[in-house]
Amino acid sequence: MTDRSNEHNSGRRLLVQDAARLEDVEIKHLRVRELLERTGADALLLQEPANIAWFTAGADLTRCAADECATSLFVTADARLFATNSVDSSQIFEREAFGLGFQLKQREWYQPHCELVSDLCRGRKVLSDRGPAGTLHAARKVRRLRLPLTSLEFTRLRQLSAIAVHAVEATGHHLESGVTEAEIAGEVSHRLLKRTVAVARIQVCADGRSERYRHWSFSEQPVQRYAAISCGARRWGLHVGVTRTVCVGDVPTDVAADFQKALLVHATGMFFSRSGQIAGDIWKKVQRIYDKFGIPNEWKRADQGSVVGFTLSEAPIAPGSEYQLPDPVPLFWHPSVGRAMTGDTVLCSETAVRQLTTSPSWPQVTVEVKGCPVTCAGILCVGSGKNAATAAANAESGNPPSAASTPTPRTPSVECPDHPEEDGPDAVESVWELPVPVSHRVWDDEGDNAYSHESVLD
């Protein structure tokens, strides 16, 4: 536990400049400067939280969010400033964007923010992401600036992925029959929030509910035999997604059959995802699997994958899409077939695909696509279950993957990386910049915690 008594007694607050963030902001400013040159505009006005997080290398202004915009970023070729109110300015400059080269223009909280924005834009040609009066709406142009991600963002994406995987998989290991979907969602949320990660989306689909409702969230419905847990997590403005399936006891035959097909789609999508490829061309290979295995209309029931970044869907992987994947780029593949759901975030380059949300704490299934092994998450069985994975699949070169059911024995105990007790970082660190070590076991923080498995479920 970190002793903060000296910090509290001294009454001092230590602020440090983050050199990596400053360098990242300069990269973003260069992109904006090039946009202004191409369009002949004088300035760019950013008001969407996702765009502000992008430009500031991770400032999260949703903590002080209101129904209407209360903080804007105004960027010219030579300067960048926050336009905000006197209530939020201290938090912005001392916690969210300290030492990053921003100027300040503020009004009192009771003065309309739109008047401050109007004063900034008057007499200038201004692009904006929301299109307030007097500006040129350029949301698509701004969105294109957010990709490709920078090296700092990829480092953070890997860290965020580790936290998201822990939240879902640790919750899955604790699943019991009779626990409600809402309780499971609460456990996932707790594991994210205690690590200062926001919940972008949670789905808990018990006993086949996703077959009819593909975008189901959660309810008071208890889990009887199995559940799919899907989570979208947000930190520094960045997003990752992960989906896992858990069975209480053995895997039902119909679930195993659906999951096997979903794995084939999942592995195919991940394998053929390469930077420089057109999204519509990647989709054709995925759709071929649906057709080959007699479920040609299944993909029409829900989206199957998307580019992720500062939203969970920067660009969908869909039929007819002409979007060219930048290099490198993260994707969240999350196919669903019948009762089965699976999903992982991967990092794609021109020559390789790296899974960001894999971990040794979960059963693994190998699917061969064009002779190359692709590792996918299987189904975890808890309670009296005998099989940890439902299927293995193979694909010959030039042919769609074919599958054969080869259950693997359930591992009685599994160790995997975890994050230590988080009483707080040192005084010079921001709690939302806390590094996540990977040298501890998953459930070290579950025993004496006030929000342990028992207290959450009782």
pLDDT by residue (tens digit) across 99-128?
999 999 999 999 999 999 999 999 999 999
CA 36 from chain centre, in angstroms, equals 30
* Domain range 151-409, CATH class: alpha beta
Rounded-to-integer distance, Cα 406 and Cα 382, Å = 19
Q: What are the tokens at 9?
A: 């007694």
What's the pLDDT score for residue 2? 47
Is the pLDDT confidence value at 289 over 60?
Answer: yes
Find the range with the poorest average confidence among 7-11, 149-153, 258-262, 348-352: 7-11
Model confidence at 225, pLDDT cuts 50, 70, 90, reads very high
C-beta separation of 126 from 134 below 8 A: yes
pLDDT-derived band of residue 64, with 50, 70 and 90 as boundaries? low
The 3-class secondary structure across 286-324, one letter per residue, is HHHHHHHCCCCCHHHHCCCEEECCCCCCCEECCCCCCCE
**8 has a pLDDT exceeding 60:** no
Distance between CA 167 and CA 171 in Å, rounded?
Answer: 6
Judge whether residue 412 has pLDDT over 50.
no
The yes-or-no verdict on residue 393 having pLDDT over 60 is no
pLDDT at 151: 95
pLDDT band with cut points at 50, 70 and 90 for residue 282 = very high
For 92-98, which contacts have Cβ atoms below 8 Å and span 24 or more sequence positions? 92/59, 92/61, 94/13, 94/15, 95/430, 96/56, 96/59, 96/60, 96/61, 97/56, 97/59, 98/15, 98/16, 98/17, 98/18
Q: Percent helix, strand, coil in the chain (nearest 5)?
A: 30, 25, 45
Is pLDDT at 91 greater than 80 in this prediction?
A: yes
Please give the structure tokens belonging to residue 21. 């963030």
pLDDT higher at 12 or 112: 112
Is the pLDDT confidence value at 227 over 60? yes
Calpha distance 428→272 (Å, rounded): 44
Q: What is the pLDDT of residue 191?
A: 95
Give yes or no for residue 4 having a pLDDT over 70: no
Contact present, 306 and 312 (Cβ < 8 Å): yes
Average confidence (pLDDT) over 13-31:
89
Average pLDDT over residues 274-286: 94
Domain regions of the chain by residue span: 5-145, 151-409
How long is the chain?
458
Between residues 105 and 438, which one has the greater pLDDT? 105
Per-residue pLDDT tens digits for 145-179: 999 999 999 999 999 999 999 999 999 999 999 99
From the list 311, 199, 288, the residue with the least C-alpha distance to 187 is 199
pLDDT of residue 211: 84
Overall average pLDDT of the 393-420 stretch = 33
pLDDT of residue 258 exceeding 60, the answer is yes
Average pLDDT (27-52) is 98
Contact 86, 63 (CB under 8 A): no
Question: Is residue 434 a contact partner of residue 196, using CB atoms and an 8 Å limit?
Answer: yes
- The mean predicted confidence, pLDDT, of the chain is 83
Query: Any idea which residue has 């960001």 for tokens?
Result: 356
User: Given the DSSP bridges, would you call strands 136-137 and 126-128 parallel, antiparallel or unpaired?
Assistant: parallel
Residue 345 has pLDDT above 80, yes or no: yes
- E strand segments, 249-316: 305-307, 315-316
Q: What token pair was written down for 126?
A: 């201004």
Please determine, for residue 297, whether its predicted confidence score (pLDDT) is greater than 50.
yes
Mean pLDDT of 380-407: 46
What architecture is domain 5-145? 3-Layer(aba) Sandwich (3.40)
pLDDT greater than 80 at residue 377:
yes
| pLDDT above 90 (res 379) | yes
Report the distance separating Cα 342 and Cα 454, nearest Å.
27
pTM exceeds 0.85 for this model = no
